[in-house]
Chain A
Amino acid sequence: AQTVTQSQPEMSVQEAETVTLSCTYDTSENNYYLFWYKQPPSRQMILVIRQEAYKQQNATENRFSVNFQKAAKSFSLKISDSQLGDTAMYFCAFMKLHNDMRFGAGTRLTVKP
């Protein structure tokens, strides 16, 4: 079974600083997808970034980037120039082809002014 582990239940960062959220996963598949979702206190999950395992280049979306290490089964999220609006729960998720999405337990990020 595929499992997703987020080892940091809570993190905090000063506004404008950079923070990295960790995620590891376990799979025997070669082709799969990885995601980071943000869930603000309003509760609506929002996709932050996605990565296809067959792509070696790390995905980036503005201030958000990932460090995808396929051999190590690691998929960390880096948030640069943190903003107050980045305060939220962040979930790492794994999906193998044509299957359901598996989420980690989440990391609660607080951006401090």
Chain B
Amino acid sequence: GAGVSQSPRYKVAKRGQDVALRCDPISGHVSLFWYQQALGQGPEFLTYFQNEAQLDKSGLPSDRFFAERPEGSVSTLKIQRTQQEDSAVYLCASSEDRSRTDTQYFGPGTRLTVL
């Protein structure tokens, strides 16, 4: 079956612009995660959804970052007034059930470059 997909794959933004990154999880997966991966580093947790409920947003670095999953499937990560330090690969992952320890399946990521 289809895996996790993300769009766009690449995004270039000028400093101060708003961006929206989309994640399509595996169909039927309850849990959805967003991660930020800086160049040469491991992914860092941003936020977690169980269906449409955002249960953990402790990793969001500032109030410029906002995520939603209104119908419990597709999720969007929005970054307002982008800064150069926001440049990174943004990874989305989904897992089948409610447990956060369930295996996570990752998408290919969106590489965001802020000029």
Interface residues in chain A, defined as those with a beta carbon under 8 Å from any beta carbon in chain B? 4, 33, 37, 42-47, 50, 91, 93, 95, 97-106
Contact = CB atoms under 8 A, between A and B. Distances in A.
Given A42-B108, A45-B106, A99 B43 contact: no
B62 interface: no
Interface string B81-108: 0000000010101000000110111111
Nearest to B3: A44
Nearest to A32: B101
B42 A95 contact: no
A42 B6 CA distance: 13
Contacts of A43: 89, 108-109
B92 to A, nearest CB: 10
Contacts, number: 52
B45 interface: yes
A103 B103 CA distance: 15
A47 B4 CA distance: 14
Contacts of A106: 40-42
B101 A97 contact: yes
B24 to A, nearest CB: 14
